[in-house]
Amino acid sequence: MTERIANLLNEQIMKELYSGYLYLDMANYYNELGLEGFENWFYIQAQEERDHAMLIRTYLHNNDQKVTLLPIDAPQENYDDYAAPLHKTLSHEKEVTASIHNIFAAAHEEKDYRSIEFLNWFVKEQGEEEKNASDLIQKYELFGSDPKGLYLLDQELKARVYAAPSLILD
């Protein structure tokens, strides 16, 4: 693995951990509003992002690379309404996707086939992340303006459970 790829992966660890902070902040926002299902959805998102960072960390260690923990900024978001965090989530996931694609392109340029194989999982995962965020926006737009619909959507989101990622690292 080249220094360039190792540096990009170290930066991605920070981005994944920041994502976890951002989603935890959103979970806190919904908690304060009494929307426990939305809180649960974002709390699980935060767990997923932390696990993404840990997968990259393990991959770097397994390839004899130094892991450098970079500073993580606190989220500075202020939300005007229930939907604002949902839209921020989709735009944020698109930024993360672009970052993963950038690392993938660099690995391709460096002919780092092992990292390409590793990153394939993240490329697929980001497609799922964007779809999940988009689907949540769509559901909110369909049901969220009606108090009963918002309640039912909140109950649906409350039922979401965490499933740790399964990725074999070498």
Helix axes 36-62, 3-33, angle to 10 degrees: 160
> What CATH number was assigned to the domain covering residues 3-158?
1.20.1260.10
The Cβ of residue 6 has, within 10 Å, a number of other Cβ atoms equal to 19
**Average pLDDT by stretches of 10, the chain with 170 residues:** 97 98 98 97 97 96 96 93 96 98 98 97 96 97 92 94 72
Question: Domain residue spans in the chain?
Answer: 3-158
